[in-house]
């Protein structure tokens, strides 16, 4: 027994003492510190936008509930609302159509005014060039410039589409023979072809006649 007791005493001496168990309050504080971290904070407070949307949703729900209750008591309200919505939709569609047509009309007017301005500018350029040639006594070139000034002026009146590949005779065929412009352009074309293509010398009277025909064409 003495030997067994000595062995037990030796074994007990080798065993390490158990750590002291912490009390519950200490453990709870440590757990609270851990749980207060951002990764464990899953509860988010609704934002101002969410609260406003919730208020609006509740208000719409109550409103629709009242409308539904009123509609059940008054069956005529449904067709009336349908007609009102259809009328509003047609009115909006007509307003959009009128606005679109008005925009297109304004755009077309703007394009027309711009084309007229461009045509007037081109006519003035031909006229200036004719005056310069006449001042230098280059009357063949002056008659040539006056002819094309007349062609550009008639293009501005939408008598034909611009096409520099046409011959003077083709321009004549594009005009209505009964038009008062036709005989004037025919006379100017005949004089221009004789002087320009026929290589006939031109003088001041030829230039004056071409200038007078150009003025008559523009005022016709």
Which CATH number do you get for residue 131? Answer: 1.20.120
Write down the mean pLDDT value for the chain.
81
Tell me, yes or no, whether 5 lies in a domain: no
Position 199 scores a pLDDT of 86
Position 212 scores a pLDDT of 92
Tell me, yes or no, whether 203 lies in a domain: yes
Tell me, yes or no, whether 181 lies in a domain: yes
Provide the number of structural domains found in the chain.
1
Position 55 scores a pLDDT of 92
Tell me, yes or no, whether 58 lies in a domain: no
Query: Which structural domain, as residue segments, surrounds residue 133?
Result: 114-219
Position 189 scores a pLDDT of 92
107-132 confidence digits (pLDDT tens):
665 555 555 556 778 888 999 999 99
Q: What percent of the chain has pLDDT over 90?
A: 25
In angstroms, the CA 28 to CA 37 distance is: 15
Whether the model pTM is above 0.75: no
Nearest to 123 by CA among 91, 76, 157, 96: 157
- The list of the chain residues with pLDDT below 50 reads none
């Amino acid at each position: 027994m003495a030997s067994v007791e000595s062995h037990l005493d030796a074994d007990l001496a080798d065993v390490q003492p158990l750590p002291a168990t912490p009390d519950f309050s200490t453990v709870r504080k440590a757990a609270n510190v851990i749980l207060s971290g951002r990764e464990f904070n899953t509860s988010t407070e609704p934002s101002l936008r969410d609260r406003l949307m919730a208020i609006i949703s509740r208000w719409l729900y109550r409103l629709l509930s009242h409308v539904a209750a009123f509609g059940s008591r008054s069956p005529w309200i449904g067709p009336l609302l349908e007609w009102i919505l259809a009328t509003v939709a047609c009115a909006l569609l007509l307003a959009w159509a009128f606005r679109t047509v008005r925009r297109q009309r304004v755009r077309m007017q703007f394009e027309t005014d711009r084309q007229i301005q461009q045509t007037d500018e081109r006519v003035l350029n031909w006229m200036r060039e004719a005056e310069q040639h006449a001042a230098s006594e280059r009357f063949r070139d002056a008659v040539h410039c006056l002819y094309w000034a007349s062609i550009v002026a008639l293009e501005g009146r939408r008598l034909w589409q611009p096409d520099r590949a046409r011959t003077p005779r083709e321009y004549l065929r594009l005009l209505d023979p009964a038009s008062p412009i036709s005989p004037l352009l025919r006379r100017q074309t005949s004089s221009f072809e004789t002087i320009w293509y026929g290589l006939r010398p031109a003088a001041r009277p030829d230039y004056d006649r071409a200038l007078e025909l150009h003025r008559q064409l523009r005022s016709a």
